[in-house]
Amino acid sequence: MQPIQFRRPQADLVRQSNYSFVDSMRQISITTLGKRTKLAFTDKGFEKYFTEDWKLGTAKLIHNRGKWFLHIGITKEVSDFDAKDNPKVVGIDRGLRFLATAFDDEGKTLFFDGQQILRKRKKFLEIRRQLQSKGTKSAKKKLKQLAQRENRWMTDVNHWLAKTLVAAYGSHTLFVLEDLTDVTFNTDDLPKSLRNSHRSWAFFQLESFLTYKAQAIQSAVLKVSPAFTSQRCPKCGLIEKINRHHDTHEYWCAQCQYRCNDDRLGAMNIKMLGQDWLNGVKRPKIKKLTTVG
Ligand SMILES: [Zn+2]
């Protein structure tokens, strides 16, 4: 085998015309510096991308710890989400006690527990406090690493959650979320020590992960107004703040006696707004009507 040489190690791009799979996919033929080299390779775990529907693009040849990797850019044509295609509608309420509560057309609810996340964040906070009180140079360095670790971990959680939601509901689904751009989060459920450190970026990250994962399977994410989603009775439509009991996490309608978990209630109302949108309402929103007379 000829050693592969590069002019500039950072720019080892291999254009699509300069590599091909030969010998019934057992070898790859790469042209570098005008020379063609045939090599055996392994595609373990990536087999599914070597199919007709994925288009291979420009690749990058990388040398790392004695091994050669060919990173291939791939693209796939997917059709867009079609609102007229009778999609499933899933309302998703994001929160702290539950990371997400999802309510679907069949009346089924999925709860994603947030307690474990809160516990872990509390632990991060404790370590952070200890390091802060030290104030040394090495403590400062560790603080920075700790913050990066926490962000990576939260990113992993969001990836997992978006993946799980997309897998649970599949293609042709309209995922409805609240538009949280101008919302301050209700941190009543958080331990006091965590209230100020709550970071909303995690909510927006979940939204963006879910958006692109949904797009890949002809699903879509719709954002709706969060107004009154935790106050409206899904049975009789009454909007009443005091129906929600924060201490017991219960919604209890004073008019029709409907009772349900308050996280589930949010997801139900969010789902309803998604249905409104499918029915032609441009900016679905729960409006509190004041009775006159
Ligand atoms: Zn009611």
Q: How remote is the CA of residue 254 from the centroid of ligand 1, in Å?
A: 7
Number of domains forming the structure of the chain: 2
Closest among 114, 225, 100 to 168, alpha carbons compared? 100
Kindly state whether residues 113 and 251 are assigned to the same domain: yes
Kindly state whether residues 69 and 109 are assigned to the same domain: no
- DSSP category for residue 233: -
* Residue 175 CB neighbours (<10 A): 28
Q: Is 292 a member of any domain? A: no
Q: How remote is the CA of residue 232 from the centroid of ligand 1, in Å?
A: 8
Q: How remote is the CA of residue 101 from the centroid of ligand 1, in Å?
A: 21
Closest among 280, 279, 265, 281 to 231, alpha carbons compared? 265
Q: How remote is the CA of residue 250 from the centroid of ligand 1, in Å?
A: 13
111, 93 in Cβ contact below 8 A? no
Kindly state whether residues 100 and 58 are assigned to the same domain: no
Kindly state whether residues 71 and 97 are assigned to the same domain: no
At which of 25, 43, 75 does a domain end? 75
Give per-10-residue mean pLDDT for the chain (293 aa). 51 79 89 86 87 87 86 87 94 91 96 92 92 92 93 94 97 95 62 57 90 94 94 94 90 94 95 97 88 54
Kindly state whether residues 36 and 112 are assigned to the same domain: no
Closest among 109, 95, 112 to 271, alpha carbons compared? 109
Closest among 271, 92, 87, 272 to 180, alpha carbons compared? 92
* Strand-pair category, 13-14 with 55-64: antiparallel
Reported pTM: 0.75
Q: Is 283 a member of any domain? A: no
Kindly state whether residues 171 and 57 are assigned to the same domain: no
Q: How remote is the CA of residue 140 from the centroid of ligand 1, in Å?
A: 54
Q: How remote is the CA of residue 229 from the centroid of ligand 1, in Å?
A: 14
Q: How remote is the CA of residue 276 from the centroid of ligand 1, in Å?
A: 19
**What's the maximum distance between 2 C-alpha atoms anywhere in the chain?**
91
Kindly state whether residues 154 and 263 are assigned to the same domain: yes
**Tens-digit pLDDT profile for residues 167-193:** 999 999 999 999 987 766 556 555 565
CATH number at residue 201: 3.30.420
pLDDT of residue 293: 47
Please give the residue range of the domain that contains residue 148. 88-278
Kindly state whether residues 61 and 109 are assigned to the same domain: no
At which of 23, 41, 75 does a domain end? 75
Q: How remote is the CA of residue 181 from the centroid of ligand 1, in Å?
A: 29
Q: Is 39 a member of any domain? A: yes
At which of 51, 75, 99 does a domain end? 75
Q: Is 3 a member of any domain? A: no
Q: How remote is the CA of residue 262 from the centroid of ligand 1, in Å?
A: 13
**Tens-digit pLDDT profile for residues 85-110:** 899 999 999 988 899 999 999 999 99
Kindly state whether residues 195 and 60 are assigned to the same domain: no
pLDDT of residue 5: 55
Kindly state whether residues 58 and 114 are assigned to the same domain: no
